[in-house]
Structure 1
């Protein structure tokens, strides 16, 4: 599975980006939220991806942040929402705003997004509200005063768990790494490096 692409952004439009990776050009469908974050080509970029497998094609969707991709995948879990509609939703509203509307049950605001009627808005709220609540609960232990975004903290925690660390050890390591760098916003790579050092030392 292709989970991310790093290469040279050679083309970008409000719905599509082309990334050249060692001479191979990958076409990615993107929401407006990602388009707004992309630099002007040609520039080196990293995009997180979601691969849609169809009978007649393989379609890559690209995202600037893990939060965008996570919400895209959550939207796909809603009955009646496919990749194109999910992309359209994230083009009409940011991932953070979408989460807020779902948590507060604001169906009226969701219907302002083109392609979303009242029934679809209600279904999104009903099917995703509990899932978002569980996600919030899983990251409460990482609520340390830091400039590092919560999505980076959550991704780092998941990486440590995937490496075989117990949750209590992984959470303690991430918190420790965040406390060491309270005035600095870290990316996943740097935070993971620091957390691995702490987890390995048993601190």
Structure 2
């Protein structure tokens, strides 16, 4: 089991990153809430990981802290929720927001996430409410507030490239191409970086 990586951040192409450790590059998929907290490329990064082995692939999923990784692991235990959908859920909601939505049985907030229909949202509430309550009682990993998504944006790139990259990231997270375009149309500003566009599009979708 690969539980943590620390090395040089070589590439950032949301939601994927490439981290080089001892001459080996590790491809890692991250929820956007964690992706926003990464340093710039060329700097050292430390991420907590969850390793998934399938017949056709070996996948690494990365997180900014142990708590978000714990929620990811709880999500993929839920019936009908695989790693990709779990990644999408944690991209559309911060860890505390997800816990709050499940705790108060806010199905309406959950169904706003791509790939989460009413039945899936209701199943998440039923299966995760007690588990989340136990996590909160332990209070060993629970952050004191919302995950900070106000980290400085990456250096601005050509605006068409920024929009294109944001669109690709949204579709990778489960949004349909037309839906991703509509989300970006609603918040687009030419001075925003791709990461800022993704962040604002996800915020808008969740509101």
Give the TM-score normalised by structure 1: 0.68
- The TM-score normalised by the length of structure 2 is 0.67
Taking the TM superposition and a 5 Å limit, the aligned residue runs for 1:10-25 are 10-25=10-25
The total of aligned residue pairs comes to 144
CA contact 1:13–1:35 (8 Å) conserved in 2: no
Which residue number corresponds to residue 55 of structure 2?
Answer: 55
> Structure 2: which 5+ residue stretches go unaligned?
145-207
Deviation at 1:56, TM superposition (A): 1.7
- Name the counterpart of 2:30: 30
In structure 2, C-alpha distance between the alignment counterparts of 1:41 and 1:34, rounded to whole Å: 15
Counting only pairs closer than 5 Å after superposition, residues 1-203 of structure 1 correspond to structure 2 as 1-139=1-139, 150-151=142-143
The 8 Å contact of residues 52 and 59 in structure 1, kept in 2 or not, is answered as: yes
Instruction: Give the gaps of 5 or more residues in structure 1.
Output: 143-148, 153-203
Distance 1:150 1:82, change over 3 A: closer
Q: Report the structure, 1 or 2, having the larger helix content.
A: 1
Runs of 4+ more than 4 Å apart = none
- How many Å separate the matches in 1 of 2:135 and 2:16? 29
Aligned-partner SS, 2:25: strand
Q: Which moved more, 1:130-139 or 1:52-61?
A: 130-139
Q: Deviations over 1:60-111 (max 9, x none)?
A: 0011111211111110010000000001111111111001101111011101
* 1:107-128 C-alpha deviation (Å, 9 max, x unpaired): 1110111111100000001000
Tell me, in whole angstroms, the C-alpha distance in 2 between the residues paired with 1:66 and 1:76.
16
**Structure with greater Cα Rg:** 1
